[in-house]
Amino acid sequence: MTLNGKSRKKHFFNRKENIMKTRFTFFSVLAVLFTAALAPVGAAKAVGIFKKGPYLQQVTQTSIVIMWETDVASDSRVDYGSSDSYGESETDDTLVNVKIHEIGLDGLIANTKYYYKVTSDNVTDDGVEATGDPYTFTTAPEGDQYFCFVAYGDTRTYPEDHAKVIAAIINSSPAIVIHTGDLVANGNDPDQWGPQFFTPAYPLMTNTPMFPVLGNHEYNDKGETLFFDFFSLPDNEQKNEQWYSFTYGCVQFIALDTNTNVDYSPGSPQYIWLEKELNYSATWRIVYFHHPPYTRTSGHEDDEDVKRDLVPLFENKVDMVFSGHSHAYERYFNEGVYYIVTGGGGAPLHRPLKDKNIPIRQVGEKEYHHCVIDVDSESLTLSARDNDGNEFDTITIKSGQSTLDMHVHDIDMSYKVAGPNHSGIATICIKDTSGTNVKGATVSGKWSWPDLVDEAVSGITGVDGEVKLQSSKIKSGGIFTFTVTNVVDSVYTYNSELNEETSDSIDVP
């Protein structure tokens, strides 16, 4: 598929074979010195000598793509190696006189740090060769190794705010970054991509590969976009980069295009491709796209098309879904899947409104932020952080445990004595495997005390996941013991093996 006759870069990799189909670029001459303008907080400098970049794309265990843009057509070279003396270089002699440069490196070693620099001839005002600053990249880890990635989005319009988010992301030290779309206000305008996106993101993207998806502002209602010129992303079976997948460590990432000019309904090429991707085995699976199925802010409400066509595919197949579009942070949970809205990357913020649709939002914050995800084969932890690095939401999922399992997190014992009447009180807290309170679960248990045993009681948990269950009133004190016998919920399954406590006692005077 071709969009509006725009020539699009072909991707270099077959993800499943992890092989690079090398098409190294080597272009030729010309000149321009690009100087810095914007100074992001915490960054040494905003831009180097090139118009854009260099920036990293499509990292795998054995390969990576390096891109940059020059003001005038030129050739290009990447020097790289395991030390800052480099030792290897790569060029492409099949393309000459290009402004957007794209060099692929392969034959690399997994989980290894490399140094690199890029050079284009005669790019300076003096007509001499321009060599950028030295940078580093690190190849993808082996399957089970720990790594950290960041999700963020909606970076358009306010580059100063985008630069602050970028500085905060750098402090979180992700291995890769996924972007939920709306990178710039008008994706057809070549003059916006530098100031709104690449200049603020430069300090991050020189060392950290980014995998973006298309937002509505990339197409800008015209069905056209320069997105494909500036990014080198994996192809899908349609041989385009609108939707794609890649594996990094123990995570399969699936990136979709949910724009109205793109079909993702059942039977469409994107839908059929997605169904196939969801059937591959993966320790963790993350899906991301621009339009959230669940959101309620001053900007947007639930995307009904995404909810109808895509959400039914995710149950039991996907661990976490990231979207943007609403310029805020929101966390939803539905049928075992977390739906995170992360659209606080620089665009004017939206205010979360009181939710009225099921599932009801668990967390909503009007905040510039990014999401940090720490992951290994055992667990996946999401941490939402503001620009000062403060964590304002976190959840953890354990591998092999259904997120729909619930258990007794705590039993807090107290008592009541009123005149001759003595009774025990147990406050039981029910949580799911991510640590989220389970509301509406029916907790059954039994009380025993001196001379009497097994008084059955039950009650329903509130929004805090807690329910108070009181024994009958008796005429003397002693040891009162409460034991949980069952927990029932229409969505969650009670897994008593995960109980942190099942029984507790209190001495009532």
Applying CB under 5 A, the residues found at the interface with Fe ion are: 182, 215-216, 325
Cβ of residue 300: shortest distance to Fe ion, in angstroms?
A: 8
117 or 291: CB nearest Fe ion = 291
Q: Minimum CB separation from Fe ion for residue 436, in Å?
A: 27
Q: What is the bridge-based pairing of β-strands 147-152 and 176-179?
A: parallel
- What residues have CB less than 8 Å from 137, skipping those under 6 apart? 56, 59, 64, 66, 113, 114, 116, 207, 209
- Residue number with CB closer to Fe ion (63 or 186): 186
Residue 71 or 305: which CB sits closer to Fe ion?
305
CB closer to Fe ion, 61 vs 216: 216
C-alpha–C-alpha distance, residues 155 and 327, integer Å? 9
- Rg of the chain in Å (alpha carbons): 27
Q: How far is CA 380 from the centre of its chain?
A: 11
* Residue number, 157 or 437, with CB nearest to Fe ion: 157
Write down the least CB distance from residue 347 to Fe ion, Å.
8
Q: Which is nearer to Fe ion, 215 or 445 (CB)?
A: 215
What SS3 class is residue 192? helix
Strand (E) or helix (H) holding 488: strand 478-488
The residue (of 294 and 482) whose beta carbon lies closer to Fe ion is: 294
Tokens (6 digits) for 86: 């480099």
Distance separating alpha carbons of residues 498 and 396, to the nearest angstrom: 15
User: What does the chain come to in residues?
Assistant: 509
Class of residue 77 by CB neighbours under 10 A (exposed 0-12, middle 13-18, buried 19+): buried
CB of 202 to Fe ion, least distance (A): 23
- Tell me the residue number closest to Fe ion, measured at CB: 325
CB of 428 to Fe ion, least distance (A): 43
Please state the φ and ψ torsions of residue 408, each to the nearest 5 degrees: -80, 115
CB of 191 closer than 8 Å to CB of 184: no
Partners of 421 in the β-ladder: 418
Q: Structure tokens of 288?
A: 């991301």
Q: How far is the CB of 368 from Fe ion (least distance, A)?
A: 16
- The nearest distance, CB 232 to Fe ion, in angstroms, is 23
For 7-64, give the secondary structure using H, E and C.
CCCCCCEECCCCEECCCCCCCECCCCCCCCCCCCCCCCCCCCCCCEEEEEECCCCCCE
Residue (237 or 304) nearer to Fe ion, CB = 304
> Token pair of 452, please?
């009497």
Rounded least distance, CB 180 to Fe ion, Å? 9
Q: How far is the CB of 35 from Fe ion (least distance, A)?
A: 32
Residue (298 or 316) nearer to Fe ion, CB: 298
DSSP assignment letter at 198: I
